[in-house]
Amino acid sequence: MANAQQFWYLEEVNLQNLFCPTKLGEAAGKLEHRIFPKGQYIFLPGEYADKIFLVEEGRIKIGTFNESGKEITLSIIDKGELFGELPLTGARNRRHFALAMEDTTCCVLTVDTMKSLMREQRGLSFYLMKIIGNRMLAMEQRLQSLVFKDSRTRIIEFLVNLANEKGQRIGYEHIVRKFLTHQDIASLTATSRQTVTTVLNELEKSNLITYNRKRLLVRDLEALQKLVPH
């Protein structure tokens, strides 16, 4: 069995560093840098999928539409993260939409360019496999949560995952910058905005979190985790 240290590059690949001109050489001329203003769709369901995107600055919402045309948020993509990667698995058309939540700058690569980079860069193929696998796992876990957990638990579980995945640890606390709106959290947890507000206020009164529009501070992640039954 391979030693885990052999796969250090699964954690160490820095996509923004990898796509800088000095690392890419001639391939740098094949990259396109685009600015998407807040509220603009980058792509929509059904469109031909021939490009992959790296967020350089800003934030992207990935979602879909229900039968009545209402948006359903599936994930939030932050600086340094990829989206639109499913063409690498053979998908020819988009299944979801991508929307700029704020003015966002993206590095845009064609599928052919990305495949070429994957052949040249040792860890990139494994890293992309990990991204796709983790996102599939996250959707499976989300479905299980919808079936087996109540609204309050889903919201708390979301906060725990957010702190673990995108939070910065400072002492015993975890800070998440660019905190989401209550409506975004409601969409991601299949709850209502009112329920999200109620749960957040409850947790703040219990001194487990503090929050505003710009950040979430989890004061005791372990105590918060204990509120999520397993």
pLDDT tens per residue, range 174-201: 999 989 999 999 999 999 999 999 999 9
Angle made by CA atoms 15, 18, 19, in degrees to the nearest 5:
90
- Residues 116, 15 share a domain: yes
The answer to whether the predicted template modeling score (pTM) of the entire model surpasses 0.75 is yes
- Residues 87, 13 share a domain: yes
Least confident of 28-32, 64-68, 77-81, 208-212: 28-32
Residue after which a domain boundary falls, among 114, 144, 174: 144
- Residues 138, 29 share a domain: yes
Structure tokens at 175: 């800070």
Contact 154, 191 (CB under 8 A): yes
- Residues 108, 28 share a domain: yes
- Residues 118, 90 share a domain: yes
- Residues 137, 200 share a domain: no
Contact 179, 215 (CB under 8 A): yes
The pLDDT tens digits for 136-168 are 888 788 888 888 899 999 999 999 999 998 999
Edge-first strand order for the sheet with 41-43 is 41-43, 97-100, 60-65, 71-77
- Residues 80, 128 share a domain: yes
Supply the range of the domain harboring residue 137.
4-144
- Residues 159, 135 share a domain: no
Place of tokens 């690569």: 109
- Residues 168, 132 share a domain: no
Mean pLDDT confidence for 203-216: 94
Residue after which a domain boundary falls, among 144, 174, 195: 144
Q: b/e string for 11-41 if b means 16 or more Cβ within 10 A?
A: eebebeeebeeeebeeeeeebeeeebeeeee
Is the residue at 109 inside a domain?
yes
Mean pLDDT confidence for 27-32: 66
Residue after which a domain boundary falls, among 144, 169, 190: 144
Q: Is the pLDDT of residue 37 over 50?
A: yes
- Residues 155, 140 share a domain: no
Structure tokens at 226: 């204990």
For the chain, what is the radius of gyration of the CA atoms? 19
Q: Residues for the chain: how many in total? A: 230
Is the residue at 9 inside a domain?
yes
The domain that holds 207 is classified in CATH as: 1.10.10.10
Is the residue at 63 inside a domain?
yes
The pLDDT tens digits for 75-119 are 999 988 899 998 988 889 999 999 999 999 998 989 988 888 888
The domain that holds 65 is classified in CATH as: 2.60.120.10
In angstroms, rounded to a whole number, what is the distance separating the alpha carbons of residues 171 and 228? 23
Is the residue at 181 inside a domain?
yes
Mean pLDDT confidence for 48-53: 93
Instruction: Look at the chain and report how many structural domains it folds into.
Output: 2
In angstroms, rounded to a whole number, what is the distance separating the alpha carbons of residues 85 and 50? 9
Give the pLDDT confidence score for residue 13 in this predicted structure: 46
Is the residue at 56 inside a domain?
yes
Contact 57, 101 (CB under 8 A): no
Is the residue at 86 inside a domain?
yes
Is the residue at 230 inside a domain?
no
Is the residue at 208 inside a domain?
yes
- Residues 104, 18 share a domain: yes
Q: Which of 87, 84, 134 is nearest to 104 (CA)?
A: 84
- Residues 166, 62 share a domain: no
